[in-house]
Structure formats: structure tokens, C-alpha cells
Chains A and B, each alone.
Chain A
Amino acid sequence: QKEVEQNSGPLSVPEGAIASLNCTYSDRGSQSFFWYRQYSGKSPELIMFIYSNGDKEDGRFTAQLNKASQYVSLLIRDSQPSDSATYLCALNFGNEKLTFGTGTRLTIIP
């Protein structure tokens, strides 16, 4: 049984600062890791995926994966009010169901 743990928040970050979102998981066999953003009442939107240990950067977003510690994180630099949303961590073995965490609610304070 895969478990994905996230701090539910809310996490409040001033505009322009770095937001750091964390996720731990129980199944060492997990191969693929995803961060989805979900605005209230909307569907999950894929913003980052990472398959290998280390960092992966895409614009203002950086995903970090440490398989030994079973830990994946998302950093958002230069946080904007439009980044206010719930961020969902998800994982799978590839071409199979995603297991989601409960999400972390992020609020960017102008």
C-alpha cells in the first residue's frame, strides 16, 4: 500500500519569497513523482515531474527527489499571488494509477 504524506497547511508565504512544499512516501519501489496544482473547484494541473534523484528546474519551480530518504519537494521561487492553490504530491510506477497525498494549501500574501 503506497502512502503519500503531505502537511495540509495552510502554508503562508510573502509575495516574492520562496515557497517550500514537502512530501514523503512509504513505498521504496515508487519510480515517478509528480506535483500537481489544484485551484479550488478545479482539476489537478501537472506542473512538475521528476524520475531521478536530484533537482529538476522549470522556470520558477524546482522539484527535488531523494529516494534514499523517500522525500520529494517542490520549491517555488519569486512566489506570486496566482501561486495560491493546493499542491498535490503524487507518485506511481509508471503507466499506472497515481497515488495522491492530501495536498498542501499554499497562500501567497501580497
Chain B
Amino acid sequence: EPEVTQTPSHQVTQMGQEVILRCVPISNHLYFYWYRQILGQKVEFLVSFYNNEISEKSEIFDDQFSVERPDGSNFTLKIRSTKLEDSAMYFCASEEDEQYFGPGTRLTVT
């Protein structure tokens, strides 16, 4: 069964560093999303992407964040200058009719 994959599974970075989180959505899906979940809190929407452009972004998704679909398969989330409060699980999801989540990347900012 097709599934969403994400790399790396765990990323540790120092405050102020740039990180790139990678996702490979399910191949025939057209809608892609990034969510994050801070430990013990609810899953929060960051950004949605359709037809090679951002379709919606949340207040969390400020100028430090960007998304890209550099080729036909990868979908990336870049955080330009990480802060301590960016520490969270980051989930990629792709959708045809329902959203399926990848396994997540645990980002730890020290």
C-alpha cells in the first residue's frame, strides 16, 4: 500500500541553523500539507500546497518557513533560522480525498 515517507526521522540542530525536512507524498496525490505537533499539544496546520504553489498558510508559517516541490516526488519544508520553540514533530500529509500522514520528523532545537 502506498505511503507517505519522511526524512530524517530525527533532526537535532542548534538555534539559528537552517533545517530542511523532506517528504515523499503518495504518487497520485495532488494536495500536500505540513503540520506540526509540539509535545503534548494538538496537531497544528502549517501550510498547504497545490498545483506547485501555497494554497493556504497559518499564522505559524512566517517568513522563516518555506516549502518547495523541487521535483515530481519530493516536498520539502525549510526553516531558515530555527528557534527553540520550533522543537516539535513535523508531519507531512498528502491527499486525494483523505489526508494520509507520514511518520514524522522529530526536530530538536538546542
Interface residues of A, Cβ cutoff 8 Å to B? 34, 36, 42-46, 49, 88, 90, 95-103
Contacts and interface: CB of A to CB of B under 8 A. Distances in A.
A97 B33 contact: yes
Given A44-B43, A44-B91, A103-B42, A98 B99 contact: yes
Contacts, number: 48
A46 B91 contact: no
A86 to B, nearest CB: 10
Counting chain B residues whose Cβ lies within 8 A of the other chain, the interface size class is 20 to 34
Contacts of B98: 34, 46, 49
7 tightest A-B CB contacts, nearest first: A97-B45, A100-B43, A43-B101, A43-B104, A102-B42, A44-B101, A100-B42
Interface string B88-99: 010101010011
B56 A97 contact: yes
B10 to A, nearest CB: 11
Most chain-B CB neighbours within 10 Å: which of A42, A43, A88, A103? A43
B31 interface: yes
A96 B43 contact: no
Contacts of A99: 45
